Amino acid sequence: MRNSYLLTLNSLLLSLTTPSALLALLGLLVPLAIHLWNRRPGQEVA
């Protein structure tokens, strides 16, 4: 079981080093960062 976990972790790390995977991750993180940056405070309900 431990071997399969290390194999999965290793393949994940190797896939993150490919330029297309990094570009896709950046493409997901940029809109999320913009959304969180531009959050407006909620209105108070009386």
pLDDT digits (tens, 9 = 90+) for 1-28: 566 666 677 777 776 677 787 888 899 9
DSSP structure class, residue 17: T
CA atoms within 13 A on the CB side of 39: 7
Output the pLDDT for position 32.
Answer: 93
d(CA 6, CA 9): 5
- CB of 35 within 8 A of CB of 26? no
Output the pLDDT for position 5.
Answer: 63
- CB of 33 within 8 A of CB of 39? no
d(CA 12, CA 26): 16
pLDDT digits (tens, 9 = 90+) for 30-46: 999 999 888 777 777 77
The whole model's pTM is what?
Answer: 0.47
